Amino acid sequence: MESVKGSCVLSKMATNERHGENSPYFDGWKAYDAYPFHPTDRPDGVIQMGLAENQLCLDMIRDWIEKNPQASICTPEGLHMFKDVALFQDYHGLPRFRQAVAKFMERGRGNKVRFDPERIVMGGGATGANELITFCLADDGDAFLVPSPYYPAFDRDLGWRTKVQIIPVHCNSSNNFQITRPALETAYDQATRTGSTVKGLVIANPSNPLGTCLDRTTLESLVAFATEKRIHLVADEIYAATVFHNPTTQFVSVAEVIRDNAADPARCDPDLIHIVYSLSKDMGLPGLRVGVVYSYNDAVVRCGRRMSSFGLVSSQTQHLLAAMLSDEDFVGRLLLESSRRLGERHGRFSKGLERVGIRCLESSCAGLFVWMDLRHLLKEASYEGELALWRVIVNEVKLNVSPGVSFHCVEPGWFRVCFANMDEGTMEVALQRIRAFIQGKEAGDGRENNDVGVVKPPAGKKRWQKDLRLSFKTVRRSEEGHVSSSPLRMSPHSPIPRSPLLWARN
């Protein structure tokens, strides 16, 4: 158990290890926090490429807010709504907010499916929504199958407080990490052999970290698997509209599968299917903590709504977003432009990697990251080999990328690299560093550890420690990704030192 001062007076849950912070994924954050990149103040700092944040269209949202002052209760134009909004505390949520979210979910799925606002249950981001649905479906000790590689914070969100076990369904590069029936059966058998009751299968579609969308056949087979086994299927569709390259054809929502297959109860039981969604990625608003569970099961909607009291979306946020998302013209332009900008950024970044012989998973068409294949650079094909390379990338090349082991990837040598949480210039610096690093490696003179591709630590700074368990400094990250040491910038959630989990909802 983690040693916390005074831990004898804390609960076992508060002090156990399932928070997941002790992983390389979060250690990379600490490295960034200790010495973050700034183009002029700290040009040799660590560039944050471990944060799946979509900053590419925030200008459009700011513009909308400026042009619509009546949507906010903190402006002269909107202040007349202050009392109503500030006193509202119904866990059903503002009807106009739920209607607007339902419409937005339809729009983000190419208007191919309909969503009933009455089935929307609020959560605090997808993080809260994932925990809420887990609490509704599973008991202490039950198991969820989760295809790997998977979003590292699933361990915390699905398992920490619920005490549900996560059983990975191992996928590998031989078929581009597709989820197969044999892999599902193996994981299911493994869980049942050890006496666990499997209650569900949780998928992220589009996938974090792969950036791929499930094809319709695979999705249908997952629905059929859940139906046959009488287990739930939770589809985390947080990246539904964070899709580029033919967005309307690439992403298939589980809602479409239900629409087309509900007439065949042997292959599709809607009562077992639940969607988790959030505005953190498609709108780029993770700080507003808007997440929802959309369940096709009446009982889940009922008990989920009661439980949502623990993680509601503030009525002020509901009020603002109800107006913004109801502006259909704006939403249409935003989604189109976001997809275009993401596609462009993804293209430039992956081409830059390609030029130095680095391949990324090819079928990716979604998300805020690439799944980068560095297997050829490993000194040994093991997790130790992967972490050794990762330490060089974080400590010497000064890029915080996330190693595959933290996504429970079975093949060492894959890394997730985020590209949408920075400006163009920072991305170019990152590419230059990678280029120099690879050239140093190719020169074969061991220079990757000193003068090529390596940003020297500033004079007087200690070299990074091998295990990267760093202490925090008080530098803070602003909304724009810059840093500030002003206490005014501190997150209201943050103890000192700030928890890397705040940035880990990504």
Ligand X SMILES: Cc1ncc(COP(=O)(O)O)c(C=O)c1O
Q: Which amino acids are annotated catalytic?
A: 151, 236, 238, 281
Q: How far is the CB of 44 from ligand X (least distance, A)?
A: 28
Angstrom distance (rounded) from CA 108 to CA 240: 6
Nearest approach in angstroms of CB 284 to ligand X is 11
By the rule CB under 6 A, 317 interacts with ligand X:
no
Task: Check binding of 54 to ligand X (CB under 6 A).
Answer: no
| Cβ-Cβ contacts under 8 Å for 382 (sequence gap 6 or more) | 412
CB 123 within 8 A of CB 291: yes
Return the amino acid letter for 425: G
Would you call 286 exposed, middle or buried from its count of C-beta atoms within 10 A (0-12, 13-18, 19+)?
buried
Pick the binder of ligand X from 72, 280, 338, 402 (CB under 6 A).
280
- Nearer Cβ to ligand X (345/505): 505
**Residue 411 CB, nearest approach to ligand X (Å):** 20
Among the residue ranges 90-98, 120-128, 375-383, 457-465, the one whose residues contact ligand X (CB under 6 A): 120-128
CB 399 within 8 A of CB 430: yes
Distance, CA of 226 to CA of 233 (rounded, Å): 6
The smaller minimum CB distance to ligand X, of residues 27 and 396, is found at: 27
Q: Is 238 in the site for ligand X (CB under 6 A)?
A: yes
- Distance, CA of 102 to CA of 196 (rounded, Å): 36
> Which residues, including other chains, have CB under 8 Å from residue 430's CB and lie 6 or more apart?
47, 49, 399, 422
Does residue 52 bind ligand X (CB under 6 A)? yes
Q: Is residue 506 part of the contact set for ligand X (CB under 6 A)?
A: yes
54, 208, 227, 261: which one contacts ligand X (CB under 6 A)? 208
Instruction: Work out which of 167, 204, 365, 417 binds ligand X, going by CB under 6 A.
Output: 204
| Minimum CB distance to ligand X, residue 132 (Å) | 11
Binding-site member from 28, 152, 286, 413 for ligand X (CB under 6 A): 286
Q: Are strands 414-418 and 402-403 parallel, antiparallel or unpaired?
A: antiparallel
Nearer to ligand X, 274 or 433 (CB): 274
285/431 with CB nearer ligand X: 285
| CB of 154 or CB of 390, closer to ligand X | 154
Of residues 93 and 286, the one with the C-beta less far from ligand X = 286
Q: Which of 60, 34, 12 is nearest to 285 (CA)?
A: 60
Tokens 């156990």: give the residue. Answer: 16
Taking a C-beta distance cutoff of 8 angstroms, is the pair 414, 374 a contact? yes
Choose, by CB under 6 A, the member of 57, 126, 272, 322 that binds ligand X: 126
Q: Which amino acid is at 293?
A: V
**Residue 299: is it exposed, middle or buried by C-beta count within 10 angstroms (0-12/13-18/19+)?**
exposed
**CA-CA distances (angstroms) from residue 66 to 8, 60, 258?**
51, 10, 40
Sole binder of ligand X in the list 274, 345, 391, 505 (CB under 6 A): 505
149 is a contact residue toward ligand X (CB under 6 A): no
Composition of the chain by helix, strand, coil, percent to 5: 45, 15, 40
Q: Per CB under 6 A, does 251 bind ligand X?
A: no
Q: Contact 158/204 with Cβ under 8 angstroms?
A: no
Taking the complex as a whole, the smallest distance from the CB of residue 505 to ligand X amounts, in Å, to: 4
Query: Please, what is the minimum distance in Å from the beta carbon of residue 151 to ligand X?
Result: 4
CB of 293 vs ligand X, minimal distance in Å: 12
DSSP designation for 430: H
Chain residue whose CB lies nearest ligand X = 125
Shorter beta-carbon distance to ligand X: residue 33 or 237: 237
Q: Which of 274, 23, 226 is nearest to 130 (CA)?
A: 274
Q: Report the site for ligand X in 447-466 (rule: CB under 6 A).
A: none
Residue placing its CB nearer to ligand X in the complex, 32 or 151: 151
Q: Which is nearer to ligand X, 280 or 395 (CB)?
A: 280
* Closer residue to ligand X in complex, CB, 78/125: 125
Q: Which of 247, 291, 403, 500 binds ligand X (CB under 6 A)?
A: 291
For the bound state, the minimum distance from the C-beta of residue 285 to ligand X, rounded and expressed in Å, comes to: 9
Asked if 121 interacts with ligand X (CB under 6 A), we say no
Measured in degrees and rounded to the nearest 5, phi and psi for residue 198 equal -80, 125
Q: How far is the CB of 142 from ligand X (least distance, A)?
A: 20
Distance of alpha carbon 455 from its chain centroid, rounded?
29
Tell me the window of 15-23, 133-141, 260-268, 278-286 that interacts with ligand X (CB under 6 A). 278-286
Question: What whole-number distance in Å separates Cα of residue 35 and Cα of residue 458?
Answer: 10
Q: Using CB under 6 A, which of 36, 108, 125, 152 touches ligand X?
A: 125
Report whether 129 contacts 278 (CB < 8 A). Answer: yes
Site stretch for ligand X (CB under 6 A), options 75-83, 119-127, 241-249, 424-432? 119-127
Q: Scan residues 127-146 and list those touching ligand X (CB under 6 A).
A: 127
Does 278 contact ligand X by CB under 6 A? yes
The sheet carrying 369-373 orders its strands as: 359-360, 369-373, 414-418, 402-403
Sign, CA torsion 40/42/46/48 = negative
Q: How many residues bind ligand X (CB under 6 A)?
A: 15
- SS3 (DSSP) at 437: helix
> What is the distance between the alpha carbons of residues 233 and 214, in angstroms, rounded to a whole number?
14
Rule CB under 6 A: which residues touch ligand X? Answer: 52, 125-127, 151, 204, 208, 236, 238, 278, 280, 286, 291, 505-506
